[in-house]
Amino acid sequence: MSALDRAALLRALPFARRYARALTGSQQHGDALVAEALRGVLAMAPPAGEGALRLAIYAAISEAAPYEDVVQEMTSLQRKLLLLTALEELPLADAAQALRLTMEQAEQELRASRDRLRAGAAARVLIIEDEPIIALDIQELVERCGHSVVGIAATEQEAVEMARRDPPTLVLADINLGVGGDGATAVARILRHVSVPVIFVTAYPERLLTGEALEPAFVITKPFDPTTLAVATYQAVTRGLRPV
């Protein structure tokens, strides 16, 4: 590959890891899926252009992902379509291309997946966020997705204490809590006492998608919209796996 192609590949990798981890519910399995997909892409002539390369990697991940039929009333194909359009923000035409669907098929599957998303399992969510206005905005979005909020913690210690008093079924955590500590550390302490899926919220997702350390399975980027949150929470809860 040329130097330009290598640079494009490096820029595409964090997005590939985010998609694969969210799809599998695991950093380990997601990153292994990315490695397998990359071997397939690089064995052929990689497409020119960063957008085309990224799309080819998404397609290879989707094809290499372990087959599922229906989990929690949503098919594997519908999960992939939701993650590509909401979490990865692909236009529907690009997502359809990655999944080898016609536009008509993609539109039909996306409508079905959104219907099933609205009927999905409700979670009891602990929000870890130190900015009060942002925390209230997140609470509103969480409740609009059909979930309940068991508490809002502004500091690491508050988060740990709340989780012990009233164990959540999902944790939504900011990374930087300012003087209140570290969201990742709070999550690590919570996971010593309760097994619960976690979604990390950050303005700098690439810092959590390096593949070089223990990292989360579910990462969404600030600012996010209700659909992105709904898809991430559905996938986190129904996968039933810890984030690391």
* Bond from prior residue into 223 cis (ω within 30 degrees of 0): yes
Query: What are the CA-CA distances from residue 215 to residues 9, 127, 128, 173, 202 (Å)?
Result: 20, 19, 17, 13, 13
Of the pLDDT bands very low, low, confident and very high (cuts 50, 70, 90), residue 8 is: confident
- The two tokens of residue 44 are 């052929």
| Strand bridging mode 198-202 / 218-221 | parallel
Contact 168, 126 (CB under 8 A): yes
pLDDT at residue number 72: 58
153 or 207, which is more confident: 153
pLDDT greater than 70 at residue 7: yes
Question: SS3 breakdown of the chain: % helix, strand, coil, rounded to 5?
Answer: 60, 15, 30
Token look-up 């372990």 returns: 66
d(CA 76, CA 67): 7
pLDDT at residue number 180: 78
Query: What are the CA-CA distances from residue 44 to residues 32, 40, 41, 129 (Å)?
Result: 19, 7, 6, 45
Query: What structural domains and CATH numbers belong to the chain?
Result: 3-118 (1.20.140.160), 124-239 (3.40.50.2300)
The whole-chain average pLDDT of the chain stands at 88
pLDDT single digits (tens) 59-105: 999 999 876 655 557 888 999 999 999 999 999 999 999 999 999 99
What pTM did the predictor assign?
Answer: 0.85
pLDDT at residue number 146: 84
Determine the average pLDDT of the residues in 105-124.
86
Determine the average pLDDT of the residues in 134-147.
90
Contact 81, 100 (CB under 8 A): no
Determine the average pLDDT of the residues in 159-186.
91
